[in-house]
Amino acid sequence: MTMLLDLALVAWLLALAIHVARARDDQGAIIAFIAFGLLLGLGWTRLSAIDVAMTEAAIGGGVTGMLLLRAEARLRQRSSQPQTPKRTTKAAAAIACTVVAAGLALAVLSFPSPAPTLAPAAAAALDSTGLGNPVTAVLLAYRALDTLLEKVVLLLALLGVWSLAPDQLWGGAPELRQTVAPPPFVYLGRILPPFGVLIAVYMCWVGADAPGGTFQAGTVLAAMWLLIMLASLRPAPETRRTTLRLLLVGGPVLFFAVGFLGFAVADGFLSYPEGAAKPIIVGIEAALTVSIALTLGLLVAGPSSRAPAP
Amino acid sequence: MTPLAPASVHLATPGGYLLVLAVTLPVLGVLAMLVVAPRHARQVALVTMAAGLVTAIAIVAELIRTGTALTYVVGGWQPPLGIALRADGLSATMIAMTAMVITATGLFARGLYALGPKAQDGRAPTTFWGLLLATWSALNAVFVGEDLFNLYVALELLTFAAVPLVCLDGRAETVAAALRYLMFALLGSLLYLLGTGLLYGSYGTLDIQMLSRLSEGGPALSVALALMIVGLLAKAALFPLHLWLPPAHAGAPAAASAVLSALVIKAPVFLILRLVLDIAPPHAAILAGQILAVLGASSILFCSVMALRQARLKLMIAYSTVAQIGYLFIVFPLAAGNEAQAPWETIAWTGGALQLVSHAFAKAAMFLAAGVIAEAFGHDRIADLGGFGRVLPISAAAFGLAGLSLMGIPPSGGFIAKCLLLTAAVLNGHPWLAATILAGGLLAAGYVFRVVDRALATPAIALVAQKPIPRRLELVALALALAAMLLGFVPLEPFGFLQLGRSGAMAGVAP
């Protein structure tokens, strides 16, 4: 039975992928791509990778889809004739993808069995962190440096998006919606956010011991914020505002501060003091969640499109 | 279960914390900049630069003092579970080079932005300072990384710092160039990440030192390395994947071009070197080296000719970058080494490293000089620059001196580098590579003299600068060009510092 379900999932994924590649209108392709992300998340749950599944659904399906839809809407406003890639470009892309896929298949089939894994080592070292979720331990303890630098990458992406604003609008507020939002949407914008915030807080909190964590929680928060902005219940903030900037860098700064504190009270950079690792990690995660939510929301909102108020 | 012994190969050294500082200090500057008022961004950048420069000097000094590589194990978590940072002689050289070029570029940008006091706290300068520091952190992270995934994060940091630099001036064509750069860079990242995943699936570790001790190859290793190297080639802009580079580097503001051309593309080259030298099994390394050398030689010839044909100064310099990068790839078969001699003991190893460093100084000097020229005259069409040497003598001198290094004329770092590579090519029996090195030098002479000839020309109507250029802007370019020349006084032999921390060449070779 599960075998049958898995096969159906794989067939569905393949069909969606082909549809995305072949679709003629961009909007249809993007919507199929969002569905693809959600289904892929389902695939990850079948492989028992719940954390990956949640991230895939939130980022691959949610945020990426939203960014693509906004880009497509912008493009449609700007140019009358849509640019479709040439046949040769498409053929080259198809050949390149086939070669890479064949290479991957060859390599994956040649993996030693059982595959070497660090999962037992990651689980064995859990005790010294006090955490229950090995994924969180990998992200915030064993490989905290990667996570820390990734957060800086997100901020840089935002800085890059902001830098696309015209000079006179620098520091102003982005605009998500020009027209009036339809009433049902406004209603949703009023009803959903409290629940969304609750879910985000829960996800962030359980991340220490169960699947969940900062990225997923941050994405949910960002979605709620975007909903409010899209429903025109609250305007997007001016990007130069100090409170906004402080919240944006708050997570990474706290992470760095704890990292450097490690020199004084523990084993060096990004090492946590014995016994206090878990509360510190939960604290970092909370601050990171806020920073990620703001970063993702502002990435979707785009560069500022109104001059800053004098 | 795992093919690897769990015992770690990394022992932290006392000075290892310096590597953490090298990676983190510049991004801390970025975070500070996001919070302070825009008018303070410049001060934050300058303070961070001073601190970063001191860190780089301390790393080099510590390496010379101890005679071994610096190692740091982050958070005390030993690889393969955790991440190690390590700087050997080559890494420390890269770190020092990066610190010098970034500081020089920062001083240049400060002077340039001071020309327009009104716009000084605006969008472009404020963004520039943040991206410049982020680039620095990313480069240092690439040079000290020992973990393939950590290196992926470093590459991402580099991409997201470098791409917005290209379109800082906001013109539609530079945004298009930046987008094309982004496409190539992301494609490269994706291929690199795929390869990393395959390596983890096969060996259960991403630590380069551990992977280097594997003797057995296999299809997974070959596929992974092929994917990663192709991905990195797209980022390094080696022929035929160079299409994104000329418009991107030529369209960026001068200070950004200098960093992009001198430093950013060196990071993927450095990683390819580590993959081929440290991870690839010997027979695969030889094959990869030969393919890379063919691409490198094509790059030298094709892009030098392209540089000769350019009408705009900055495009010419950008094509020259692709050509000069080619030299770094012909090093692979020349520094292959044998039973008697490890790769890092060959003259080609020293030659390649010198080429990398002297190109960084020379190219930064050229782009900064070109930036001064474009600022002074409002354009950079080579044909209309007749007599610019009389108006901007220091910039012309900087351009000419940097050109000497690109051509390989003594005394310059480029001369020593090309001389060592040529000797290695002749001794190892690679006549075609030797011919390519010579032809590349001649072509470089062609495109450099085209500009020098314009500088010395006496046009009927004397060229006048549209605005006064402060002397210290020009001096920054000259200082970089002189640094490229000073490298020409390095002795013509394998250089001890570059071998520090390489196995078998540990202690006793400090210069």
Q: Within an 8 Å CB–CB cutoff, is residue B81 touching chain A?
A: yes
The closest alpha carbon to B162, from B235, B242, B59, belongs to B235
- The gap from C-alpha B357 to its chain's centroid, in whole angstroms, comes to 8
Distance CA B445, CA B43 (A): 40
Which chain A positions have a beta carbon within 8 Å of B234's beta carbon?
none
pLDDT of B268 above 90: yes
Can you give the pLDDT at residue B467? 81
The answer to whether B498 and B420 have CB atoms below 8 angstroms apart is: no
Can you give the pLDDT at residue B325? 93
pLDDT of B341 above 80: no
Can you give the pLDDT at residue B143? 95
The closest alpha carbon to A225, from A292, A180, A179, A172, belongs to A292
Query: CA of A177 to nearest chain B CA: how many angstroms apart?
Result: 24
Residue listed under structure tokens 């020199």 = A263
Tell me the mean pLDDT in the region B361-390. 90
pLDDT of B273 above 60: yes
The closest alpha carbon to B268, from B244, B251, B247, B287, belongs to B244
A141 and B220 in contact by Cβ < 8 A?
no
Tell me the mean pLDDT in the region B485-505. 75
B383: helix, strand or coil: helix
pLDDT of B5 above 50: no
Chain B interface mutation, best of A117, A156, A255, highest count of B Cβ atoms under 10 Å: A156
Chain A interface mutation, best of B223, B227, B241, highest count of A Cβ atoms under 10 Å: B223
Highest mean pLDDT pick, A118-132, B74-88, B275-289, B292-306: B292-306
Q: Which helix (H) or strand (E) holds B9?
A: none
Measured CA to CA in angstroms, residue B132 lies from B287, B440, B477 at distances of 37, 31, 17
**Exposed, middle or buried, B405 (CB in 10 Å: 0-12/13-18/19+)?**
buried
Can you give the pLDDT at residue B495? 77
The answer to whether B417 and B408 have CB atoms below 8 angstroms apart is: yes
Neighbours of A232 (CB within 10 A): 16
Radius of gyration of chain A from its Cα atoms, rounded to whole angstroms: 22
Per cent of chain B over pLDDT 70 is 95
A270 and B35 in contact by Cβ < 8 A?
no
The closest alpha carbon to B322, from B184, B429, B116, belongs to B184
Sort residue B218 into left (φ over 0), alpha (ψ -120 to 50) or beta: left
Of B7-16, B144-153, B186-195, B235-244, which gets the smallest average pLDDT?
B7-16
Contacts of A208 (CB under 8 A, 6+ apart): A131, A132, A133, A136, A278, A281, A282, A285
The answer to whether B367 and B261 have CB atoms below 8 angstroms apart is: yes
Which chain B positions have a beta carbon within 8 Å of A152's beta carbon?
27, 30-31, 134, 137, 157
B27 and A143 in contact by Cβ < 8 A?
no
Q: Which two tokens stand for residue B196?
A: 């990393």
Q: Half-sphere exposure of B204 toward its Cβ, with a 13 Å CA cutoff? A: 17
Average pLDDT, chain B: 88
The answer to whether A26 and A82 have CB atoms below 8 angstroms apart is: yes
For residue A136, give the amino acid letter: T
Tens of pLDDT, residues B451-487 = 998 888 887 777 787 888 888 888 999 999 999 999 8
Sort residue B387 into left (φ over 0), alpha (ψ -120 to 50) or beta: left
Partner A, chain B 212-241, Cβ-Cβ below 8 Å: 218-220, 223-224, 226-227
Distance CA B13, CA B90 (A): 17
Distance CA A87, CA A108 (A): 31
Residue listed under structure tokens 């596929």 = B223
Q: How far apart are the first and last CA of chain B?
A: 44
A242 and B157 in contact by Cβ < 8 A?
no
pLDDT of B188 above 90: yes
The answer to whether B327 and B454 have CB atoms below 8 angstroms apart is: no
Can you give the pLDDT at residue B4? 44
pLDDT of A310 above 80: no
Distance CA A103, CA A208 (A): 37
DSSP E strand boundaries for B53-115: 70-73, 84-87
Which chain B positions have a beta carbon within 8 Å of A107's beta carbon?
198, 201-202, 219-220, 223-224
Can you give the pLDDT at residue A82? 60
Q: Which two tokens stand for residue A242?
A: 């100090």
Count each helix (H run) and each strand (E run) in chain B, helices first: 19, 2
DSSP B345-382: GSHHHHHHHHHHHHHHHHHHHHHHHHHHHHHHHS--BG
Alpha helix stretches (DSSP H) within chain A: 2-22, 26-46, 50-55, 64-78, 87-109, 119-124, 134-137, 144-162, 183-206, 214-230, 242-265, 277-301
pLDDT of A15 above 90: yes
Q: Which two tokens stand for residue A276?
A: 């206090």
Q: Half-sphere exposure of B189 toward its Cβ, with a 13 Å CA cutoff? A: 18
Q: How many CB pairs under 8 A join A and B?
A: 175
A245 and B34 in contact by Cβ < 8 A?
yes
Distance CA B174, CA A65 (A): 26
Q: Which two tokens stand for residue B261?
A: 């051309």
pLDDT of B510 above 50: no
**What residue spans define the domains of chain A?**
1-77, 85-116, 118-310
Torsion of Cα atoms, A181 then A187 then A188 then A190, to 10°: 110
Distance CA A66, CA A64 (A): 5
DSSP A308: P
A103 and B130 in contact by Cβ < 8 A?
no
B72 and A269 in contact by Cβ < 8 A?
yes
A156 and B2 in contact by Cβ < 8 A?
no
**What residue spans define the domains of chain B?**
291-511
Which chain A positions have a beta carbon within 8 Å of B160's beta carbon?
153, 156-157, 160
Partner A, chain B 430-469, Cβ-Cβ below 8 Å: none
Can you give the pLDDT at residue B45? 93
The answer to whether B164 and A163 have CB atoms below 8 angstroms apart is: yes
pLDDT of B337 above 80: no
User: Would the ipTM clear 0.90, i.e. be above it?
Assistant: yes
Distance CA B17, CA B26 (A): 15
Measured CA to CA in angstroms, residue A195 lies from A189, A190, B88 at distances of 11, 10, 53
Tens of pLDDT, residues B154-171 = 999 999 999 999 998 888
Q: Which two tokens stand for residue A104?
A: 């991957």
The residue that leads in pLDDT, B387 or A150, is: A150
The closest alpha carbon to A233, from A241, A245, A225, A221, belongs to A225
Measured CA to CA in angstroms, residue B446 lies from A2, B182, B309 at distances of 69, 32, 10
Report the b/e string of B319-352 with b at 16+ CB within 10 A.
Answer: bbbbbbbbbbbbbbbbbbbeeeebbbbbbbbbbb
Tens of pLDDT, residues A211-241 = 878 888 999 999 999 999 888 888 888 888 8
Sort residue B469 into left (φ over 0), alpha (ψ -120 to 50) or beta: beta
Tell me the mean pLDDT in the region A74-91. 76
Measured CA to CA in angstroms, residue A136 lies from A151, A211, A281 at distances of 15, 8, 9
Can you give the pLDDT at residue A83? 66
